[in-house]
A = this chain, B = another copy of it.
């Protein structure tokens, strides 16, 4: 019983800080994406491709979460965007407090789009609100087509699913229609993109949607304010 109580307290405290983050990001017109996936699905590669394509049109900042090392942060920093690295030292997910500390090290006035790359883990990050606009789950074709059924919470809590590594479809045991059906069974409202960070296929469509949403949000907010 004591365990449940403590978990509730942790989540309640996390949600409280997540709301503070959300409020601060909103005030600064920052569109924030919490990027989640298994280890090695290609979150960092997707960031690299995305920044390459639209980094000159949208001011992007990145918070990089990792259990250990700042390898991903270093990769992304090569693309000349502000990056804050969070090393969790063993913890399996990011929490709102860590993100709050990271946000305090960013210039929000110069950020239109903030990516938070979560720890590679399809389970634990699903339960932790960081104050983001939406979770986006990346799943690669090499992981097979059953992951939405086996890890439903992550797919239920995401607004978008990006299927990465579609260039490997000829070589792997993954029925992409089945993968999409399984995902939509868990979350019928899921927006789906199919991309390859290796060949570049689909990256343009994903980036167009992203820009529309980032810019669209400003128009919406301006209408609200004025």
Structural contact, B152 and A68, CB atoms closer than 8 A:
yes
How many chain copies does the complex carry? 2
Number of A residues with CB within 8 Å of any CB on chain B: 40
Contacts of A40 in B (CB 8 A): 38, 140, 142-144, 147
* Complex contacts, A173 vs chain B, CB 8 Å: 198
In the assembled complex, the Cα of A191 lies from the Cα of B71 at a distance in Å of: 25
Q: Provided the pairs A165-B142, A171-B167 are in contact, do residues A122 and B123 lie with their beta carbons within 8 angstroms?
A: no
Contact with B along A158-170 (1 / 0, CB 8 A): 0000000101100
* Partner-binding segment picked from A2-10, A26-34, A52-60, A217-225: A2-10
A149 proximal to B (CB < 8 A): yes
Complex alpha-carbon distance, A150 and B152, angstroms = 25
